[in-house]
Amino acid sequence: MQQTLSIIKPDAIEKNLIGKILSRFEENNLKVIAAKMLHLTKEKAQKFYEVHKDKPFYNDLVESITSGPVLVSILYGEDAIQKNRKIMGATDPQKADKGTIRKDFATNIDRNAVHGSDSVENAKIEVSFFFKENEIFIR
């Protein structure tokens, strides 16, 4: 069993898609064991996306994730990290498979609806970036 960090990004919140996106996780046996809505500061967003700081899209990425509130959650279940990546679909929604969140709900690669941790190591780092132990409810 694994925990993975999920973020519903501002573009999807703006489109009123929180419920539809969380349903995709629940339908695939992932449990929401922690959740909060917040508006990331520029500093916090820069830190969260620090691994991308040398990429050409870094500034746009920080601008996009701070453009409105996000819903940050922890998903829990068997193979949660890879399962979530599969449910999300490819980074570029134009390349995402049918039935994935990004295919169905994303606007474009800059506004691609969701974030999900990509490895066991990063899931641990990202979960503790947003949540304290007593905010996580494994069930």
Catalytic residues: 115
Q: From CA 131, how far away is CA 43, in angstroms rounded?
A: 17
Q: From CA 9, how far away is CA 58, in angstroms rounded?
A: 15
Return the one option of Mg ion, ligand ADP, none that residue 91 interacts with (CB less than 5 to 8 A, by type): ligand ADP
Residue in the shown chain whose Cβ atom is closest to ligand ADP = 91
Q: Does position 110 bind ligand ADP by CB under 6 A? A: yes
DSSP string covering 5-61: EEEE-HHHHHTT-HHHHHHHHHHTT-EEEEEEEE---HHHHHHHTGGGTTSTTHHHH
Q: Does position 118 bind ligand ADP by CB under 6 A? A: yes
- Least Å from the CB of residue 40 to Mg ion: 16
Q: Between residue 100 and residue 119, which ones bind Mg ion under the rule CB under 5 A?
A: 118
Q: Does position 61 bind ligand ADP by CB under 6 A? A: yes
How many residues interact with ligand ADP (rule CB under 6 A)?
Answer: 9
Q: From CA 69, how far away is CA 83, in angstroms rounded?
A: 25
Residues that bind Mg ion (CB under 5 A): 118
